[in-house]
Structures are given as structure tokens and as C-alpha cells.
Amino acid sequence: MKNIFNLFDFQQKVNYKTEVLAGLTVALALVPEAVAFAMIAGLSPLTGLYAAFVMGLVTSILGGRPGMISGATGAVAVVIVALALSHGVEYVFAAVILAGIFQIIAGVLRLGKLIRLVPQSVIFGFVNGLAIIIFMSQLDQFKFVNEAGEMVWMTGNSLYILLGLVLLTILIIWGLPKITKVVPASLAAILAIFGLVVFLGIDTRTVGDIASINGGFPPFHIPMIPVNLETFMVVLPYAAIVAGVGLIESLLTLNIVDEITETRGRSNKECVAQGTANIMSGFFSGMGGCAMIGQSLINVSSGARARLSGIVASISLLMFIMFGADIIELLPMAALTGVMIMVAIGTFEWASLRTFRRMPKSDVLVMVLVTLVTVFLHNLALAVLVGVIISALVFAWDNAKMIRARKRMDDLGVKHYEIYGPLFFGSVQAFNDKFDVLGDPEKVIIDFSESRIVDMSGIEAVNRLTERYHKQGKKLHLRHLSTDCRKLLSNAEAIIDVNILEDPTYKVVVDRF
């Protein structure tokens, strides 16, 4: 048994009571979320619940981040809704399976490390936008469908009862940890509101009013679709987007949990786990999914740090579906709404607001833009991509202005250019402007000891400069260039003079494929 635990990276010191209680809390919170996301995608509630069970169980066992919760998510639901409406649920299952294959390939190729390229400003914007989405999604609980089929705000006693129960839930979650931490505050709040509603007979909306969650074990099912190129081309774009969105949201959630727990997860292992879970989800009648930042924060804030809480949450969810649907359907939505509102408050990076005057304007712009894209387009992958691109362009622009040249003449009439700063595609023009080819003496030395040639654009700039001096019949010496730089300067071999003993050991970034 010990070997099995070590195989799955279980921590040897586990607070079993905390893990179990945290898992139960997460399971209760997963029910309305999974149902809601399935309905957003135009699928049956059980499709979302089955996905939550399979995704949660597989990633809890195989994932690279203990304590992180996966399941059916809104990010995936928004992607597959068009496929579900146009081609049906069988195509959704196929797309989820193909997305899982893509994610496993990404993990095997160790592409998970690319998440390191996401700047902190993008993470702040992503987290803040996600917190706003979580909060806004809870506002639907304060609406109902009128006789005309329109969604309108509640009024009168029903609104006051719902508000009171939500506020009481928030108060319990906020205040209980100040008294005791024996029971997770979220679970205590759910049970307290449930007992209050049942014993006092309070008329309020319950989980059962949304949809029935009664079902059996997820049935194994091979997607019934034509196996041909046309079908593949229909499924491919949706699968690629689901894979990308799932990995981005999962790896960002992994980073956030890492910061909270002050530990480090394994991104590539998580990619493989997410892919495996999506493949299993597609074969077991699930809509697929990825890591869930809200439920992960509930789990971590409840004290969970091991894999056991995620396993308990998944198995508990399955037990709810198979045996406890009648009881779970009685849970007041007010309690779950209060829990999710507190998750939204805890998710939002309030510290980011205090850094507005201290952060560079470009970082503030990126953070705000990513937040807006996340909130209004509900496209997390696009939001992160936009943020990374803008951050990269700002970085390139700032570094392009950093290149400098100190000029001096020695006693022998040789002109020296001492270059400072990186030479890359963005700084090539500024680099070229530093030299006076026509006015320089017959012998010129360029010293790169305080500079680095970063890419092929920098190599080409140096190569062209040597040609310009050569056409004027002047001798140009390049010093402190690395060996690979000199090999690439094929047109300047006769006039390169490099002090090999002082060559740096860095390598030029070159595409050799």
C-alpha cells in the first residue's frame, strides 16, 4: 500500500480529516457548477456531472499539483456549445477525446514550461477577470423566468429571503475561522443553511429546481460519428481550442495554487493528466473540462494540500449522482451562491489595485486589458494570448532603446565602439545609427563584451556592417563575440579579429530546424 501511495506522489503526512471534509465541500460546490456549465453547452446535466467526476478523479491521481480540482468548466462549455448545437453531443465527445490527445502531446513535448512566459501582469488580469466572472455568474440566482419567458430580477419576499440566506452564508464563512478551524467554513455554512431551510420550511430555490442530478455510473461510450476526413476537419478546430484553453486555465490555476501553498507543481505532468482525463471523459459520456480555479481555491482554503481531497470530492460527487440525488437536490442555492461569492472575493487580487501607481503603465494596461477580455469575451485563452503578445512587444520596445555605444580614439588612431545592451530585431536600427562608416578611420574595433547578440536579426546587422566597412576599404575588428556568432558571419571571415580567451559562453538563439 505504501508503494502505491508513493507511486502517485501522495504526501506521507496527510491530515485525513481536513482532506475528507474539504473534498465533501468541493463536491457540494461542484454540483450546481457542473449542471450550469452543461446547460451552457446545450448538453444534459449528467454530461457535466460525469465530466466533473472523471476529470476530478483522474487529475487528482495523476496530476502535477496536489490539491487542485478539475471538472467541467465554463471555458470549455463556451467553446463546444457551437459544436453541440450544429452536430450533436457525439461530436462533442469526439472533440474532447482529440483535445485530450493534443494535451498529452503537449505534456510529452514538455510544453508546459511555456507558462513561464506569462507575465505577472497577465496573471493578475486573468485572475481578476475570472473573479468578476465567478461573481457575475452568481447574479443569475437572483433572477427568475416570468410568464413571458424573460429573465427578470426577483422582488419581494423571495428576494429578501435569498439575500438573507446568502449574507448569512458569507457571514459564517468569514466568521467561523476566527472561532475554530475544526470544520471547513464553507462546508459548515452549507450545512447550516441547509438545516435552517429544512427545519423552518423556508421556501427558496434549491439544486433540484435547476435540474435533476439522478443517474448511474458514467456509461462507457464510443462516439457514434463517421470515421472520415470530413468529420476530423469538423472536430479538429474545436478540439484544438479546447486543448489550448484547458491547458492555459489549468497551468495558470497551478501557478496560483503554487503561490498560495508555497510549493511547486509539475506543469508537464499536469498537461498529461489533463489530456488523460479528457480522453476518459469523452469515452465516459462527459463534456470534458480542465482545472477549476474556484473549486481549487475552496479546496485549498479549506486546508487541503494532498491528492486525497480531490479523490474524495470526485467519489462523493459520484455517490451524490447514484445514491444521494434526492438529498442533494434539496440543497439551497443560496448557500452555494454565498460560497461562490466568497470564492470570487478570495480570487480577486486586491493587492494589484494598490500597485497601480507603482507598476509601469504598460503592465497596468496589460492587466486591465486581460481583465476586460476575460470578462466580456469569456475567452480565457484569447485574454492570456493578448496579454502575452502586448507584454512581449512592450519588452522588445523597451530593450530596443537600451542599446548604447561608447566611442573613443586610441593613441594609434584606431576608433573603438564599446556596445552596451542587447542586439536583437528591435534594436538593429538604433545599433546601425551608432556608426559613422564614411567618417571613421581605416581601422575600427567593435567591442561586444557588454553586449549580447540575441537573434538572427542581430547577426545579420553585424554582417551588413562589416560589408559596409569593407566596401569603404576599411578594416573592422569584432571582439568578444561567441564562437557560434563568428561561424554565422560567413561574409566577414577575412576581417574578424576576436579575442578567443575572453569570448563569452552564451549562445545565439537560432532556428536550426
Taken in order 87, 134, 380, 222, the sign of the CA dihedral is negative
Question: Which among 344, 379, 398 is the end of a domain?
Answer: 398
User: 55-59, 208-212, 225-229, 462-466: which has the minimum mean pLDDT?
Assistant: 208-212
Residue 472 neighbours by CB distance under 10 Å? 12
Question: Is 296 within a domain?
Answer: yes
Task: Identify the bridge partners of residue 417 per DSSP, sorted by sequence position.
Answer: 407, 446
Same domain, 276 and 356: yes
pLDDT greater than 70 at residue 492: no
Segments in 41-179 forming alpha helices (H): 45-62, 74-87, 89-108, 120-138, 156-179
Compute the distance between CA of residue 289 and CA of residue 87 in angstroms, rounded to an integer. Answer: 19
Mean of pLDDT over the chain: 85
Read off the CATH number of the domain in which 486 is found: 3.30.750.24
Q: Do 489 and 458 touch, CB atoms closer than 8 A?
A: no
Q: Quickly count: other Cβ atoms within 10 Å of residue 200's Cβ.
A: 8
Cα(16)–Cα(385) distance, rounded to whole angstroms? Answer: 40
Confidence of residue 52 (pLDDT cuts 50, 70, 90): very high
- How many separate domains does the chain show? 3
Is residue 2 in some structural domain?
A: no
The arithmetic mean of pLDDT across residues 440-459, rounded, is: 86
- Of 311, 341, 361, the one marking the end of a domain is 361
Q: Please report the pLDDT score of residue 245 as a whole number.
A: 83
Please compute the mean of the pLDDT values over residues 23-43 and round it to a whole number: 83
CA distance 214 to 221: 19
Instruction: Assess whether 351 and 382 both reside in one domain.
Output: no
Give yes or no for residue 442 having a pLDDT over 60: yes
Per residue in 394-418, pLDDT tens?
888 888 888 899 999 988 899 999 9
CA atoms within 13 Å, Cβ hemisphere of 51: 37
Q: What SS3 state is found at 344?
A: helix
Q: Which residue has the higher pLDDT, 272 or 7?
A: 272
Q: Which amino acid is at 3?
A: N
Residues in the chain: 513
Read off the C-alpha cell for 469: 566597412
The pLDDT tens digits of the residues spanning 243-275 come to 988 998 899 889 888 888 888 889 999 999 999
pLDDT score, position 392: 87
Cβ distance 207 to 331 under 8 Å? yes
Same domain as 210, residue 314: yes
* Residue 8 placed within a domain: no
Are 138 and 212 part of one and the same domain?
yes
Nearest Cα neighbor of 23 from 311, 262, 271, 443 is 311
Closest-CA residue to 138 (of 41, 68, 33): 33
Q: pLDDT grade, residue 87 (50/70/90)? A: very high
Q: Containing domain of residue 382, as a range? A: 368-398
For range 115-144, the mean pLDDT = 83
- Alpha-carbon distance of 405 to 461, in angstroms, equals 15
Listing DSSP states for 221-282 in one string gives: -------SHHHHHHHHHHHHHHHHHHHHHHHHHHHHHHHHHT----HHHHHHHHHHHHHHHH
Q: Is residue 507 part of a domain?
A: no
367, 128 Cβ separation under 8 angstroms: yes
For residue 467, the model assigns a pLDDT of 85
pLDDT of residue 486: 64
Contact of 75 with 244, CB cutoff 8 Å: no
**Domain match, 126 and 224 both:** yes
152 neighbors 144 (Cβ within 8 angstroms): yes
pLDDT band at 1 (very low <50, low <70, confident <90, very high): very low
- Specify whether 318 is located in the same domain as 197: yes
185 and 215 in a common domain:
yes
Same domain, 59 and 158: yes
CA dihedral 291, 214, 21, 336 (to 10 degrees): 70
Structural element, H or E, at residue 386: helix 380-400
Specify the pLDDT at position 35.
80
- The answer to whether residue 10 sits within a structural domain is no
CA dihedral 50, 52, 54, 60 (to 10 degrees): -160
CA 227/CA 508 separation, integer angstroms: 46
Whether residue 375 is found in the same domain as residue 465: no
Whether 5 maps to a domain, the answer reads: no
Query: Is residue 116 assigned to a domain?
Result: yes
| Contact in structure between 371 and 128 (CB atoms under 8 Å) | yes
Classify the C-alpha dihedral 341-344-349-354 as positive or negative. Answer: negative
- Residues 248 and 317 grouped into a single domain: yes
Q: Are residues 201 and 322 in the same domain?
A: yes
Residue 3 in domain: no
Report DSSP state, residue 144. E
CA distance 73 to 34: 7
Lowest average pLDDT, out of 127-136, 188-197, 314-323, goes to 127-136
204 shares its domain with 241: yes
